[in-house]
């Protein structure tokens, strides 16, 4: 069975819950700020069953969805979420911006790190924030996890925050969603190109991952288009045999037809450079404000 991959725990939850209803081992809470159109969804995977069903490690996944541009309320929401996941006491934080700075859709991590104030350089006792953009395997010949682990051994941070671009299942979430989790990250998993994990087990300290979806599979765009046509034409018979299928059956058919032909084709919006710039500015403002 073909399946569209995603880095977002929320999209896994939507897919699984759509099939099975409430998910044992998974706690879901949702909070909506109607004034600023910010929705925060907390998914906590509490046991091995929930982890197996969701396809994600046990831990906390917080997804912040927003409709407009970055606002002060959005920055406060991201900042509050990060504070709640950080250790109660810390002196040194390492921030790692993952990805390829030469590829716009993968440049969120390096772009954010470039705008950070690395306070460890000027504080006594070498405490504060250190920042690194380790590049990608093709550039350095080393896994990002290897480089970050080496830095952790040298400076002994109390926690690591990793920032990376993600893949989404829905095109409507590109640049409009921030996922924050205390489970670390498996770089490239959303596009089927898994690298070595950056998590507490591999680095020896708590790891918080912050990600923004920047790409979506071409098959997913077709599925979104069919769903949008159903909503616009309100059940009118326009698609022949497809009209007789429910939403899941249409999605499965699209995957069955397209995946063998186009494979792992991923698409980014034409304003990706502007999207990455704005999101890197937002995240850097949040992090600089937290650790200044």
pLDDT for the residue numbered 132: 97
pLDDT for the residue numbered 200: 94
CA distances, 169 to each of 124, 185, 262 (Å): 45, 17, 16
| Matching residue, tokens 């504070």 | 83
pLDDT for the residue numbered 17: 73
Tens-binned pLDDT, residue by residue, of the chain (292 aa): 445 678 999 998 988 875 555 788 999 999 987 666 899 999 999 999 999 999 899 999 999 999 876 688 999 999 999 999 998 888 999 999 999 999 999 999 999 999 999 988 887 767 899 999 999 888 899 999 999 999 999 999 999 999 999 999 888 899 999 999 999 998 755 445 556 889 999 999 999 999 999 998 777 777 666 666 666 666 666 555 566 666 666 666 666 666 666 666 788 888 999 999 999 999 999 999 998 7
pLDDT for the residue numbered 217: 79
Report the C-alpha dihedral over residues 218, 163, 51, 248, rounded to 10 degrees: -20
The DSSP bridge partners found for residue 177 are: 65
Q: Which CATH class is domain 9-218+267-291?
A: alpha beta
What is the chain's Cα-based Rg? 20
Find all residues with CB under 8 Å of 218, minimum gap 6, and list them.
258, 262, 265, 266, 267
Q: Evaluate whether 58 touches 51 at the Cβ level (below 8 Å).
A: yes
pLDDT for the residue numbered 190: 46
pLDDT for the residue numbered 236: 60
Strands (DSSP E) found in 133-221: 159-168, 177-181, 207-217
Q: Where are the CATH 3.40.50.1450 domain residues in the chain?
A: 9-218+267-291
46: left (phi over 0), alpha (psi -120 to 50) or beta: alpha
Alpha-helix runs per DSSP H in 44-99: 48-54, 72-85
Residues 214-239 as b/e (b if ≥16 CB within 10 A, e otherwise) read bbbbbbbbbbbebeeebeeeeeeeee
pLDDT for the residue numbered 268: 87
Q: Evaluate whether 132 touches 147 at the Cβ level (below 8 Å).
A: yes
């Amino acid at each position: 069975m073909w399946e569209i991959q995603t880095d977002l725990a929320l999209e896994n939850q939507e897919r699984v819950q759509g099939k099975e209803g409430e998910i044992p081992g998974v706690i879901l809470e949702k909070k909506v700020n109607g004034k600023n159109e910010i929705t925060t969804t907390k998914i906590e995977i509490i046991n091995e069953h929930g982890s197996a069903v969701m396809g994600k490690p046990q831990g906390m996944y917080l997804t912040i969805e927003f409709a407009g541009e970055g606002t002060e309320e959005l920055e406060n929401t991201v900042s509050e979420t990060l504070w709640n996941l950080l250790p109660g006491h810390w002196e040194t934080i390492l921030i790692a911006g993952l990805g390829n700075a030469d590829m716009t859709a993968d440049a969120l991590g390096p772009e954010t790190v470039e705008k950070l104030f690395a306070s460890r350089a000027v504080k006594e006792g070498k405490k504060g924030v250190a920042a690194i953009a380790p590049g990608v395997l093709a550039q350095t010949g080393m896994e990002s996890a290897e480089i970050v682990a080496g830095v952790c051994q040298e400076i002994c941070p109390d926690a690591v925050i990793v920032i990376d671009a993600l893949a989404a299942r829905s095109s409507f979430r590109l640049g409009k969603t921030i996922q924050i989790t205390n489970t670390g990250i498996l770089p490239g998993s959303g596009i089927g190109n898994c690298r070595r994990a950056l998590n507490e087990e591999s680095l020896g300290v708590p790891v918080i991952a912050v990600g923004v979806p920047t790409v979506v599979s071409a098959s997913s765009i077709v599925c979104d288009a069919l769903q949008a046509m159903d909503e616009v034409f309100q059940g009118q018979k326009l698609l022949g045999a497809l009209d007789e299928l429910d939403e899941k059956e249409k999605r499965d058919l699209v995957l069955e037809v397209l995946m063998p032909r186009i494979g792992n084709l991923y698409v980014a919006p034409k304003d990706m450079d502007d999207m990455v710039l704005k999101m890197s500015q937002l995240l850097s403002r949040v992090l600089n404000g937290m650790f200044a």
